[in-house]
Structure 1
Amino acid sequence: MDHDWPVLESETEYETGWYDGGYDRVEQPDGSAKNYYWAALPPAVVVLAVDDGDVLFVDQYRPTIRKQCMELVAGIVEQTDDETPANEVAPASDRESYVAAGRRELREETGYEAGNVEFVEEFWTATGVLRHKRGIVFADDLTEVGRDLDSNEFLSVERVPIEDALAVARAPPANDATIEGILLAEADGHL
Structure 2
Amino acid sequence: MLRNRIRRVPVTVRGTHYIHEYLVLPDVCAVIAEVPEGIVLVEQFRPALGRRILELPAGRLRRGEEPVQGARRELAEETGYQAGEMRLVSRFYPSVGLSRHKVHLYYTVNPTPGETHWDPTEEIVVKIVPVSEVPNLLIEGRAADAKTHLGLVYFLNARGWIMQKGRWRPTELAREFNKRNTGSFQ
CA gap of 1:78–1:166, structure 2 versus 1, over 3 A, is farther
Q: Report runs of 4+ in structure 1 exceeding 4 Å deviation.
A: none
Which structure has the highest strand share of the two? Answer: 1
The C-alpha deviation readout for 1:55-89, integer Å capped at 9, x for no partner, is 0010111111101101111100111xxxxxxxxxx
Q: Superposition pairs for residues 31-110 of structure 1, below 5 Å?
A: 31-79=15-63, 95-110=64-79
Contact 1:75 1:105 (8 Å CA) reproduced: yes
Q: Is the CA contact (8 Å cut-off) linking 1:71 and 1:169 kept in structure 2?
A: no
Residues 19-50 of structure 1: CA deviation (Å, up to 9, x unaligned): x113211122x233111121111000111100
What is the Cα deviation at residue 106 of structure 1? 0.6
Shift of 1:170: 4.2
Q: Is 2:141 aligned against 1:145? A: no
Separation (CA, whole Å) in 1 of partners of 2:16 and 2:128: 53
Following superposition, the deviation at residue 188 of structure 1 comes to: 4.3
Structure 1 pair 113–105 and aligned structure 2 pair: CA distance change class (3 A): same
Give the % identical residues. Answer: 26
Residue 164 to residue 152, structure 1, CA distance change in 2 (3 Å): same
Note closer, same or farther for the CA distance 1:170–1:58 as it changes in structure 2 (3 Å cut): farther
Deviation of 1:185 (Å):
3.1
Q: What per-residue deviation string (whole Å, max 9, x for no partner) do you get for residues 148-179 of structure 1?
A: 11111101100100121232244345222111
Rounded Cα–Cα distance in structure 2 between residues aligned with 1:46 and 1:171:
21
One-letter amino acid matched to 1:133: K
Unaligned runs of 5+ in 2: 160-184
Partner residue of 1:127 out of 74, 93, 96: 96
Structure in which a larger fraction of residues adopt helix: 2
User: 2:138 & 2:78 partners in 1: Cα distance?
Assistant: 18
Per the alignment, residue 11 of structure 2 pairs with 26
| 1:72–1:178 CA contact under 8 A, matched in 2 | yes
Matched positions, count: 159
Match of 2:83, SS state, is strand
Partner SS for 1:27: strand
Q: 1:36 to 1:76 in 2, by over 3 A?
A: same
Distance 1:136 1:168 in 2: 19
Question: The residue matched to 1:150 in structure 2 has which SS?
Answer: coil
Q: 3-state SS of the aligned residue for 1:99? A: helix
| Root mean square deviation of aligned Cα | 1.8
Q: State the secondary structure of the residue aligned to 1:178.
A: helix
When structure 1 is superposed on structure 2, of 117-126 and 167-176 the one drifting more is 167-176
SS of the residue corresponding to residue 26 of structure 2 reads: coil
Give the structure-1-normalised TM-score: 0.77
Q: Distance in 2 between matches of 1:71 and 1:136?
A: 13
CA–CA distance in structure 2, aligned partners of residues 144 and 27 of structure 1: 53
